[in-house]
A = this chain, B = another copy of it.
Amino acid sequence: MSIAHSSFYNMLKVPEHQVAGHLAIDGKLGPLVDDSGRFYKPLQGDGRGNKELAFYESFSSDTRVPDHIRKYFPVCYGSQLLEASNGSGLLHHLVLQDIVSSHRNPSIMDVKIGSRTWYPEASDNYIQKCLEKDRRTTTVSLGFRIAGLQLYEGKESGYWRPGRKEVQSFTVYNVRSILRRFVSSNSSIGNENSDCSFAPSIYGGSAGILEQLLELKAWFEDQTIYHFHSCSLLILFDKESVSKGSASVPEIKLIDFAHVVEGKGVIDHNFLGGLCSLIKFVSEVLSDSKESSIKDCVESEKPGICTDNGNCQ
């Protein structure tokens, strides 16, 4: 742990692309970022911060975690004393890789995985509070809920960033629409008309979101080290790069580990079930998009054939 120098403070700023959690604005406590690609998350005083730090310490030294899985977690650089964003003075911050910094105009979805966000060891009050929210959102019905998102819609319209209340009221129908809209070129003209034209390159392909989710799934079918309660999958990609045809790899990262507990020889069936549900939704968007491009090819009477990524040739 190190204490930052005062000259360093000037470099810290409020993250531009934070889609869920507490924001460091209006004198509130929240995470900060710098220009070197680091993300500073204040360690909450109720023990959650220390639990998350303990998780990162345990995880980073655990040789049972294979490298192809480790890449789905942000790199952790320990903790640091920094001026808190709410002006309350020096506070310990977790120093993490700023996942978003490598993306120019990222479209981001924060998907909280699991059909329950509580864990057996928690207090009755905590369980009832979580259960109430899990039932109110899609957590119980879908096995996951969207906790926040931003969708880049182009230079003129900027980002679509629904407010917290709107996000919390998402139904199963809304979630399905958003998963389509997330990979559509015409996202601003309404859910019903989403063209899903980016689905083959973002959800599909050997480096796409679906393959990454399946790689994670295979690990979750086997690993009994950790149970990831109330943890999120951050799904992000740069729509502009994709539009321009440049090779932008969509990314998945797991975040928020304040409620991770030991697996004690049992798989994380709660996370795994939710992950499989998300996989099914993503697969459906992908196969729908392929079907509709085949239909388009046929309807336009082009002599070409439809390629694997859904384009006409």
Q: Which residues of A contact B (CB under 8 A)?
A: 115-116, 120, 131, 135, 140-143, 172, 176, 221-222, 224, 264-267, 269-270, 272-274, 276-277, 279-280
Whether the pair B267, A280 counts as a contact (CB closer than 8 A) is yes
Chain B residues, Cβ within 8 Å of A221: 276, 279-280
CA distance A135 to B116 in the complex (A): 13
With CB as the reference atom, state the residue of chain B lying closest to A279.
Answer: B221
With CB as the reference atom, state the residue of chain B lying closest to A283.
Answer: B222
User: Can you name 5 extra interface pairs (CB under 8 A) apart from A176-B265, A266-B280, A270-B273?
Assistant: A115-B115, A115-B270, A143-B267, A221-B280, A269-B277
* CB-defined A-B contacts under 8 Å, sample of 26: A115-B115, A115-B269, A115-B270, A116-B116, A120-B140, A120-B141, A131-B131, A141-B266, A142-B266, A142-B269, A143-B266, A143-B267, A143-B270, A172-B265, A176-B265, A221-B279, A221-B280, A224-B280, A266-B277, A267-B276, A269-B274, A269-B277, A270-B273, A272-B272, A273-B273, A273-B276
| Chain B: minimal CB distance from A9 (Å) | 45
Chain B residues, Cβ within 8 Å of A266: 141-143, 172, 277, 280
CA distance A81 to B120 in the complex (A): 44
| Chain B: minimal CB distance from A111 (Å) | 13
Chain B residues, Cβ within 8 Å of A269: 115, 142-143, 273-274, 276-277
Chain B residues, Cβ within 8 Å of A270: 115, 143, 273
CA distance A176 to B265 in the complex (A): 10
| Chain B: minimal CB distance from A50 (Å) | 24
Chain B residues, Cβ within 8 Å of A116: 115-116
Chain B residues, Cβ within 8 Å of A273: 115, 143, 269-270, 272-274, 276
Chain B residues, Cβ within 8 Å of A265: 172, 176
Chain B residues, Cβ within 8 Å of A135: 120
CA distance A172 to B227 in the complex (A): 15
Chain B residues, Cβ within 8 Å of A172: 264-266
| Chain B: minimal CB distance from A255 (Å) | 21
| Chain B: minimal CB distance from A163 (Å) | 25
Whether the pair B276, A272 counts as a contact (CB closer than 8 A) is yes
Chain B residues, Cβ within 8 Å of A120: 135, 140-141
With CB as the reference atom, state the residue of chain B lying closest to A140.
Answer: B120
Given contacts A115-B116, A120-B140, A120-B141, whether A267 and B272 have CB atoms under 8 Å apart is no
